[in-house]
Amino acid sequence: MAKNQKDMSKEARISREERLLKRRYKEMPKDAQAMYSGLIRRAAYMRVTLEDYEAYLDENGSVEMFSQSEKLEPYERERPVARLYNSMNKNYQSIMKLLNDALPEPMAADKADEILRFAAGAKK
């Protein structure tokens, strides 16, 4: 996450991402824009939340020591945030595919490449 984004509230970051997405998908037919506005809002929320999860996992790792009680030996387990991240990332990619599929054909290929770069870990 960029330094200037760390200073922004989550809601401000979501609003910023939503504006960016609306700009990216402005070539979408007008009737589709209205229909997909909820997906754009969800995608913005997911993108910001995924960035927060990534920062947490970068700082704390994707596994932790855990024990059911003080009497049992701790064992290594996946952090719940790691599972949430994986699930949300999959859903985010599905939403982005739906949005890309609503674009005119040549633009959809460009946006699909952008999603693949994000999924591969490239920054915006």
Domain membership of residue 11 (yes or no) is no
Among candidate residues 9, 1, 6, 17, the one with its CA nearest the CA of residue 92:
17
pLDDT of 35 higher than 80:
yes
Domain that holds residue 108: 18-51+82-119
Query: Is residue 59, in this structure, part of any structural domain at all?
Result: no
Higher pLDDT, 31 or 109: 31
Task: Report pLDDT digits (tens) over 36-65.
Answer: 999 999 999 999 999 999 999 999 999 999
Total domains in the fold of the chain: 1
Q: Is residue 91 part of a domain?
A: yes
Q: Beta strand pairing status for 75-78 and 63-66?
A: antiparallel
Q: Which one of 32-36, 42-46, 111-115, 119-123 scores highest in mean pLDDT?
A: 42-46
Q: pTM of the predicted model, to two decimals?
A: 0.76
Please give the average per-residue pLDDT across 6-28, as a whole number.
91
Is the CB of residue 102 less than 8 Å from the CB of residue 36? yes
